[in-house]
Amino acid sequence: MAKWLVEGDDRLRAGLVLAVVAGLLCGPAMAASGAGLGGLLKKKQTQEAPPEKRPWMVATQPPAMTVPVEPLGFYAPGSYYQGQRQSLVSLDFLDENRLLFTFRAPGLIHRTGDAGEEERQIRAVVIDLPTGVVEHEAVWTLHDHARYLWMLKDGHFLLRDLNDLKQGDASLELKPLLHFPGPLLWLEMDPEQQYLVTDSLEPIQTPEKTESLVKQPEAAYSPPAAGQPEVVLRILRRASGQVLLVSRVHNTVYLPINSAGYLETQAKSDRQWRLNLSSFTGGTRSLATVDSTCDPRVDFITDSELLVNACNPDGSRRLVAWSSDGRRLWEAPTLVNEVWPLLVMSPAGSWMARETLFVTHPIDAYSPLSLDDVLGQVVDVYDAATGKVALRAPASPVLDGGGNAAFSPSGKRLAVVNAGSIEVYDLTRATTPGATGRAH
């Protein structure tokens, strides 16, 4: 049976400050949930550079094995989906030798009486490596276009749809896990996967109760008009469903957490930001001060290491890694013509992959992004301890909602959807970290 959420400790509610992460150059948590960004992109005609002018299209090492995807029923999405950042695929390792590949199944229509335009069919296949044999398959009906699947370290996975969060296994059998009072819009986990952060759209509570749950930095929270639902953010224990924190907010939010607490960015000046860690047991401590001309995006790479995506005064960006005890570990520049970054962490914590779109020119208010400016998608694998790039691999078709790259549980393999196949790279043969010279 699904667990109904049980509200928990009120001590954690008062101190929560939440920030919505947005912008073209910083990957938003909920980019695929609402209206796509395709309408914001200027359309123009350009001539694509030939392959020899695009060295990033060639992987820095050949894949150890490939699995063709067309026999599985996968076909490249049409140009209609470009720029909308919808979640169209999810590629994951169940274990070292089995992949779970799920993807939008075009042409499969199964509408019920109350189904809306958001309904879609997702095909799921479990693939043996290296044979490519399909061990299990299923078709799921989902009801929006945001991310729907999160892999767990024990070979199970979480599937999100409507008000429910289900748990599945290698046989693709699904069991109820959690039921929410309204549609579950998004979720994240800490690196140890002990906690969930969820955003759900729920019926409005009384103003008195709402006001007691939230503290926002810029303005007092004002509940929606009567009859309108509101976004509810929770932090809860994954195993039991016990709610540790609940807050009612204006929009869906991204909240990075580890096993100790949740992280907030606080403006110290126009170009400096303080990183504060609020403990689940009470109290807040400052971890570091980061120089950045924008509100920096922060992600936990491991339980004890976090990554800051900061802006430089010249408009470029850089990655800065910090330990959870406030030590600066490494810094790496990023290319100005790489946009919409998405991070994929290895379960073992040794690697992280950064997916980006490779574009023809730097993007800013005066040079907006056109769909024709997108040359392709690349996956850079970083050594999480040093910030050195060990592998670069192309990904095609371009899937700006992500889901097309995954690490095996040991971190020894990386799988990428590219050029009609799932390409599996042996990271034990990866280029010596730092050989690309992009980190320092």
The boundaries of the domain holding residue 264 are 3-109+117-219+227-429
CATH, residue 89: 2.130.10.10
C-alpha distance from residue 345 to each of 81, 99, 190, 299, 322 (Å):
25, 16, 11, 10, 16
Question: d(Cα 171, Cα 139) in Å, to the nearest integer?
Answer: 13
Q: What is the pLDDT along the chain (440 residues), one digit of tens a residue?
A: 566 554 444 334 333 433 333 333 444 444 444 434 343 444 444 344 454 446 667 899 999 999 999 999 999 988 778 777 899 999 999 999 999 999 999 865 555 545 456 799 999 999 999 999 999 999 999 999 999 999 999 999 999 999 999 999 999 999 999 999 999 999 999 999 999 999 999 988 644 333 322 333 333 444 555 557 899 999 999 999 999 999 999 888 899 999 999 999 999 998 999 999 999 989 999 999 999 999 999 999 999 999 999 999 988 899 999 999 999 999 999 988 898 999 999 998 999 999 999 888 887 777 787 888 899 999 999 999 999 999 999 999 999 999 999 999 999 999 999 999 999 999 998 864 443 334 33
Is residue 73 domain-resident?
yes
Is residue 440 domain-resident?
no
Is residue 381 domain-resident?
yes
Is residue 283 domain-resident?
yes
Residue 334 near residue 324, CB atoms below 8 Å: no
Question: d(Cα 363, Cα 353) in Å, to the nearest integer?
Answer: 22
Domain count, the chain: 1
Is residue 60 domain-resident?
yes
pTM score: 0.83
Is residue 364 domain-resident?
yes
